[in-house]
Chain A
Amino acid sequence: MIGKTVRSAQLALLSAGFATLLSAGADDTFMLRGATVHTMSGAAIENGSVIVRNGKIIGVGKNLAVPKDVKVIDGKGLQVYPGMIDAATEVGLLEVNSVRETQDVAEIGKFNPQLVALTAVNPSSEHIPVTRFNGITTVATMPQGQVIGGQVSLMHLDGWTTDEMGVKPRAGLHLKMPAIQTPRGFGGDSGGDAGPAAARSSFAEAKRNLDKEIAELNQFFESAHRYKQAKEAKLPDFRTDLKLEAMLPIIEGKEPVMVTAVKEREIRDAITFAEKQQIKIILCDAVEAYKVTKEIKEHNIPVILGPMLSLPLNEDEGYDQAYSTPAALQKAGILFSLGTLEGKANLASRNLPFQAAQAVAFGLPHEDAMKAITKNAAEIWGVGDVMGTIEEGKWADLMVTDGDPLDARSQIKQLFIKGKVVDLSNKQKDLYEKYLNRP
């Protein structure tokens, strides 16, 4: 954990409408009292309290005594939840999609395990304050690439520097499972005008390419094993290799690999690959996970789903396939969370709660939707001990709302990251106020 003290936002900057509550949250020690506390680790506590000292939660419950050196914040009529976690996004790495100079998402080359997303995060990105305005306190930001894009970084959406923002800079390796690439007809799945025979031959060729790519991937992992042996044997001509060095925690099972595997074939390939290489994986953007629930459950693999608000992959699928996949995973007992995969569809990380809500409309219990974007995300990224629920000993990453945070009509009234009040202003709100008042 690199995270150091996070700055306290200046209270003067915060909206006047919430002055009473804000004036009490001047530092990272306080008691939030009289709110409904949704701990995500148990039942909601009506008229409950959360006591925070030095950024950590030291008490949660009903009728708690006020410690004598602690300020009290009145939470009457408000709801308290853990801050939300976007389990896969590109926040900080991408400012303007169409401007190359503002992108630090994808490097050149097939295997880049040595790259770390946090390195390229711009703490001044406008996306950071815009995203946390909707209650998101932490994101897993990820590099993209041809095969191994680099290391996913878990970071708080607050901090003067990347050092201060970083929660777990090397949270896992992002691997894009090689996929079958076949020529497509315009707007459809047919092999163009060439007919089934050409489709068969191009499929066979594509399959050969796929097998080759998977073989290359296995070779890369095997070279990491040989590197490890050479290093441990202290061979005289041993030389540090930055790429293979970065692979050691992966092949030793200390760090997971987040495998982007969209279709059934890629998901099955990913499971086979993980077994062969004896690595821990997290499936990401697993659109067709609903077809492989049995195997995913058997292997105890967690899943990060992409945006719920997505079109079906195939023309003949149910219109609501993406909406109903979370409910299918929940029924199968699979641990899952959600990622907005921002660059994928111009969907902003700030819409994470509404993505979750769409799954509720199509059968996912509300509590499971909230857990997906709090508790589950923290557990999947290996930080369940410090965030994701409101429990003693965890950081006070808290979201205070006037209603259900999954409903777009609710407002985030206040946000705490490590117990510090977070500035909810942003460029968009500033422009709103400026131009609303244009004479």
Chain B
Amino acid sequence: MKRFGILAALFGLAGMAFAADTAVLIQNATILTITNGTVKGSILLQGGKIAAIGDKVLAPPGAQVIDGAGKYVMPGIIDCHSHIMAEAINEGSVSVSSMVGIDDVLNPEDVAIYRALAGGVTTANILHGSANSIGGKTVVTKLRWGTSAEQMKFEGAMPGIKFALGENPKRAGAAAAFGATTTAPRYPATRMGVEDVIREAFNDAKAYQASLAQYKAKLAKNEPAIPPARDLKLEALVEVLEGKRFVHAHCYRQDEILMLLHVADDYGFKIRTLQHVLEGYKVAKEIAAHGAGASTFADWWAYKMEAQDAIPYNAAIMVRKGVLTSLNSDDAELMRHLDKEAAKTVKYGGLSETEALSLITINPAKQLAIDKRVGSLEVGKDADVLLYDGHPLSNFSKVEKVWIDGHEYFDRDQDMNGRSKKAIEKKALTEKAAPAGGGRGGQGFAAGGPNE
């Protein structure tokens, strides 16, 4: 295993333990496994995986041993809806933009990654924006801070695509809202039009799929065949039709939710997750019947008309009605306290603590079909693990350490201890940047400097 780790590091492969990572044994802790109850004892992270969980686990030679007395261990938080590290969000010039992908614009140096880690997030689904009925392709990432964009990608995770319904795609003068210079209105302008745009796109995708199939059939029979011109826009939609790409659909009102489920049924594909889905509680039965997951906010409301009937009990109702439900952030700030958002579902709707924590761990893992790897503390799963100084649902607790694939990516003590050194470095750099002559002239640069 260790040798393999070295190879992985050498070739820059993501998803493997770093060569230098020693095993980590956390002892005497309260271990919230999520899927198998609470264990008072130890957890061993070795070779990038969870190697053991139990009352007593022996430390392998050279292992780092952490006393977890009074502390809590839980799986890394999974955010099913984020836009951090995306250098661009919306290709808003057209209402079907399935040819573009967010995986092309990942910035691995976005400080939001580190801040999210400090809040316990280890995996994030990075989405295109909601300007278009059919948006761009999405990518699942692990927040391996300090690595490359390529290494951030969750290897083997199913790719996705963003859809969006309601106010955002229909917003009149969408061009102006998203910064384009044209003032021509863009179809659609109503929820009816949004449905039509999606149906038209899948109508085209079906035809494209048929011509591809025809071509392949001819080839198989050794008949002369000319391949259809490759269509990158429809290619992604054919992947949706063939179950090779997940649909993550931004939606708010119950009417548009039902509309999309009907469209998907008509064209024979599945909606993997409904995102935001603030009125999901009104049609939970229908969502469950389709088999779609729902990823919502704990208590956001009132920021626009379609969020007027949003209720903080949404997650609880959907859970009770059999919908696979998660909580997401959609926001670099909210992302840092998804644990505290989960706690609200205990207050609003009375979910159990395990149900509440499932909303940010195993449930989003299932929604993204990465639950064999992450989302709970089980032997053999990736060592994506959080150490807290108290119960994760308590508003008085905080994350102390974060591991991804057994590699430590956040340590609060180290963060705190490094601050004075950073301050000295910053002071030196600021002084160096000040123009010759110094004095008050130095303030000039402050426009782009520390105080502004």
- Taking beta carbons and an 8 Å cutoff, which residues of A are in contact with B? 95-99, 126-127, 180, 182, 189-191, 196, 199-200, 202-204, 206, 263-265, 309-312, 314-316, 318-320, 345-346, 348, 350-351, 354, 357-358, 360-362, 366, 406-411, 428-429, 431-432, 435-436, 438
Kindly list chain A residues whose C-beta atoms are within 8 Å of the C-beta of B435: 196, 200
Which 7 A-B residue pairs are closest in the complex by CB-CB distance? A203-B447, A357-B395, A200-B444, A432-B313, A98-B304, A408-B343, A428-B311
Name A204's closest neighbour in chain B (CB-CB).
B444
Contacting pair B300 A203 (CB below 8 A): no
Contacting pair B397 A435 (CB below 8 A): no
Contacting pair A189 B452 (CB below 8 A): yes
Chain A: minimal CB distance from B274 (Å): 16
Contacting pair A199 B451 (CB below 8 A): no
Contacting pair B302 A406 (CB below 8 A): no
Contacting pair B349 A432 (CB below 8 A): yes
Count of B residues near A, CB < 8 Å?
Answer: 61
Interface string of B273-303 (1 = CB under 8 A from A): 0000000011011000000000000011111
Interface string of B310-351 (1 = CB under 8 A from A): 111100010010000000000011101100100110111100
Compute how far the CA of A180 lies from the CA of B167 in the bound complex, rounded to whole angstroms: 35
Contacting pair B311 A362 (CB below 8 A): no
Judged by a CB distance under 8 angstroms, whether B155 is at the interface is no
Kindly list chain A residues whose C-beta atoms are within 8 Å of the C-beta of B396: 357, 360-361, 366, 406-407
Compute how far the CA of A180 lies from the CA of B299 in the bound complex, rounded to whole angstroms: 35
Q: Which of A319, A354, A438 is within 8 Å of B285, CB to CB?
A: A438
Name A315's closest neighbour in chain B (CB-CB).
B111
Contacting pair A411 B445 (CB below 8 A): no
Chain B: minimal CB distance from A231 (Å): 42
Name A185's closest neighbour in chain B (CB-CB).
B448
Chain B: minimal CB distance from A429 (Å): 8
Contacting pair B313 A428 (CB below 8 A): yes
Chain A: minimal CB distance from B291 (Å): 19
Contacting pair B285 A180 (CB below 8 A): no
Kindly list chain A residues whose C-beta atoms are within 8 Å of the C-beta of B81: none
Chain A CB within 10 Å, residue with most, of B115, B285, B353, B419: B115
Q: Which of A202, A206, A436 is within 8 Å of B317, CB to CB?
A: A436
Chain B CB within 10 Å, residue with most, of A189, A410, A431: A431
- Taking beta carbons and an 8 Å cutoff, which residues of B are in contact with A? 111, 114-115, 118, 167, 281-282, 284-285, 299-305, 307-313, 317, 320, 332-334, 336-337, 340, 343-344, 346-349, 353, 393-398, 415-416, 419, 422, 426, 433, 435, 443-452
Compute how far the CA of A96 lies from the CA of B300 in the bound complex, rounded to whole angstroms: 12
Kindly list chain A residues whose C-beta atoms are within 8 Å of the C-beta of B426: 316
Compute how far the CA of A355 lies from the CA of B303 in the bound complex, rounded to whole angstroms: 19
Q: Which of B310, B419, B444, B451 is within 8 Å of A263, CB to CB?
A: B451
Chain B CB within 10 Å, residue with most, of A98, A314, A362: A98
Contacting pair B395 A265 (CB below 8 A): no
Contacting pair B447 A191 (CB below 8 A): yes
Q: Which of B301, B346, B448 is within 8 Å of A408, CB to CB?
A: B346
Compute how far the CA of A316 lies from the CA of B449 in the bound complex, rounded to whole angstroms: 11
Contacts A199-B445, A318-B419, A408-B344; is A362 near B398 (CB within 8 Å)?
A: yes
Compute how far the CA of A196 lies from the CA of B447 in the bound complex, rounded to whole angstroms: 9
Contacting pair B317 A407 (CB below 8 A): no
- List 17 contacting pairs A-B, 8 Å CB cutoff, sorted by A: A98-B303, A99-B304, A180-B452, A182-B448, A196-B433, A196-B448, A203-B447, A204-B444, A309-B333, A318-B419, A358-B340, A358-B395, A361-B395, A361-B397, A409-B343, A431-B309, A431-B311
Name B416's closest neighbour in chain A (CB-CB).
A318
Chain A: minimal CB distance from B73 (Å): 18
Contacts A203-B447, A407-B394; is A358 near B343 (CB within 8 Å)?
A: no
Name A343's closest neighbour in chain B (CB-CB).
B303
Kindly list chain A residues whose C-beta atoms are within 8 Å of the C-beta of B281: 431-432, 435-436
Contacting pair B303 A182 (CB below 8 A): no
- The main secondary structure of chain B at its interface with chain A is helix
Kindly list chain A residues whose C-beta atoms are within 8 Å of the C-beta of B344: 408
Contacting pair A361 B398 (CB below 8 A): yes
Contacts A311-B332, A408-B346, A409-B343; is A98 near B337 (CB within 8 Å)?
A: no
Contacting pair A310 B333 (CB below 8 A): yes
Contacting pair B333 A345 (CB below 8 A): yes
Chain A: minimal CB distance from B390 (Å): 8
Chain A: minimal CB distance from B403 (Å): 18
Contacting pair A316 B450 (CB below 8 A): yes
Compute how far the CA of A196 lies from the CA of B432 in the bound complex, rounded to whole angstroms: 13
Name B313's closest neighbour in chain A (CB-CB).
A432
Chain B: minimal CB distance from A22 (Å): 20
Chain B: minimal CB distance from A365 (Å): 11
Contacts A309-B333, A410-B347, A435-B317; is A203 near B305 (CB within 8 Å)?
A: no
Contacting pair A348 B394 (CB below 8 A): no
Contacting pair A200 B445 (CB below 8 A): yes
Name A265's closest neighbour in chain B (CB-CB).
B451
Kindly list chain A residues whose C-beta atoms are within 8 Å of the C-beta of B111: 315
Compute how far the CA of A127 lies from the CA of B312 in the bound complex, rounded to whole angstroms: 13
Contacting pair B305 A98 (CB below 8 A): yes
Contacting pair A354 B340 (CB below 8 A): yes
Contacting pair B393 A409 (CB below 8 A): yes
Chain A CB within 10 Å, residue with most, of B303, B333, B444, B447: B447
Compute how far the CA of A199 lies from the CA of B301 in the bound complex, rounded to whole angstroms: 39
Name B447's closest neighbour in chain A (CB-CB).
A203
Contacts A99-B305, A182-B452, A199-B447; is A319 near B395 (CB within 8 Å)?
A: no
Kindly list chain A residues whose C-beta atoms are within 8 Å of the C-beta of B337: 309, 358
Contacting pair B340 A203 (CB below 8 A): no
Kindly list chain A residues whose C-beta atoms are within 8 Å of the C-beta of B303: 96-98, 346
Compute how far the CA of A25 lies from the CA of B451 in the bound complex, rounded to whole angstroms: 54
Name B285's closest neighbour in chain A (CB-CB).
A438
Compute how far the CA of A115 lies from the CA of B313 in the bound complex, rounded to whole angstroms: 38
Contacts A189-B452, A354-B340; is A406 near B395 (CB within 8 Å)?
A: yes
Chain B CB within 10 Å, residue with most, of A204, A309, A346: A346
Compute how far the CA of A436 lies from the CA of B284 in the bound complex, rounded to whole angstroms: 10
Kindly list chain B residues whose C-beta atoms are within 8 Å of the C-beta of A411: 347
Contacting pair A409 B347 (CB below 8 A): yes
Kindly list chain B residues whose C-beta atoms are within 8 Å of the C-beta of A366: 396
Kindly list chain B residues whose C-beta atoms are within 8 Å of the C-beta of A360: 395-396
Chain A: minimal CB distance from B214 (Å): 46
Compute how far the CA of A99 lies from the CA of B340 in the bound complex, rounded to whole angstroms: 29
Name B412's closest neighbour in chain A (CB-CB).
A320
Q: Which of B301, B340, B347 is within 8 Å of A348, CB to CB?
A: B301
Kindly list chain B residues whose C-beta atoms are within 8 Å of the C-beta of A206: 447
Q: Which of B422, B447, B450 is within 8 Å of A200, CB to CB?
A: B447
Compute how far the CA of A320 lies from the CA of B333 in the bound complex, rounded to whole angstroms: 11
Contacting pair A348 B299 (CB below 8 A): yes
Kindly list chain A residues whose C-beta atoms are within 8 Å of the C-beta of B282: 435, 438
